[in-house]
Amino acid sequence: MATAELLTRPMTIAEFAQLPPSEGSRELIAGEVIEMNMPKPQHGYITTNLAVILHRFVHPRKLGRVFSNDAGMVTQRNPDSVRGPDVFFASFDRLPADAPLDEYLATAPELVCEVRSSDQTFGELAAKAAEYLNAGVTVVFIADPETETVVLHFADKPPATLRGADLLKLPEVFGDDFEVPIKAVFE
């Protein structure tokens, strides 16, 4: 496919998947490839905390899978979008245990977690949360390292802000068994 052709029409998911590796991160947003800077270590540290917290809850209960490291998920078609959430959880109800994992996830997970990078605005993150919710995600979790707060976004109710000793509970995703103090995300 000629480069000029890619510049005159939106890129598809299949074309995006065939791009050569990049130095940083990139996402496909409404058919346009967006290059991003590599996150700073604080971002990686908090992302790891989230992945570990979720994995420790999900794995022993055999509830599904926890993904991290910007694993790609489809959020829109025609024009196509592929986003790389920092961490996400997909239950075995939505993504069966035997589902292949060698393509971008086309099924919306129940939970998406994003950690705000220093170069991201709150408006950008709110728009990204809306995109995830429109794709069928149940809860979008946005952690802000600067304020050590978490904002939970839902499709059917206003966002909720949590901080410090507040308990993160995700009954929409995990029922009543999951409970973690917000400060644990940032420790």
Q: Where are the domains of the chain?
A: 38-186
- Return the residue matching tokens 């994003």: 114
pLDDT tens-place string over residues 38-65: 888 999 999 999 999 999 999 999 999 9
Instruction: Name residues whose C-beta falls within 8 Å of residue 29's C-beta, 6 or more positions apart in sequence.
Output: 81, 83
Q: Is the pLDDT of residue 1 over 50?
A: no
- Tell me which of 54 and 14 has the higher pLDDT: 54
Instruction: Give the Cα separation of 162 and 66 in Å (integer).
Output: 22
At 8, the pLDDT band (50, 70, 90 cuts) reads: low
- The count of other CB atoms within 10 Å of the CB of residue 113 is 24
Identify the pLDDT of residue 7: 52
pLDDT in tens, 90-123: 999 999 999 999 999 999 999 999 999 988 888 9
Q: Tell me, what's the pLDDT at 103?
A: 92
Going through the chain in order, the beta strands assigned E by DSSP cover 25-29, 32-36, 64-68, 73-76, 81-83, 87-91, 111-115, 139-144, 149-154, 160-163, 167-168, 180-181
Evaluate whether 150 touches 161 at the Cβ level (below 8 Å).
yes
d(CA 96, CA 146): 37
* Confidence (pLDDT) at 6: 45
Q: Is the pLDDT of residue 23 over 80?
A: no
> Residue 184 is inside which H or E element, if any?
helix 183-186
Give me the mean pLDDT over the 71-85 stretch: 93
Chain segment 123-163, per-residue pLDDT in tens:
999 999 999 999 999 999 999 999 999 999 999 999 999 99
- What's the pTM? 0.90
* Alpha-carbon span 183 to 160, nearest angstrom: 16
Task: Kindly indicate whether the domain formed by 38-186 is annotated with CATH number 3.90.1570.10.
Answer: yes
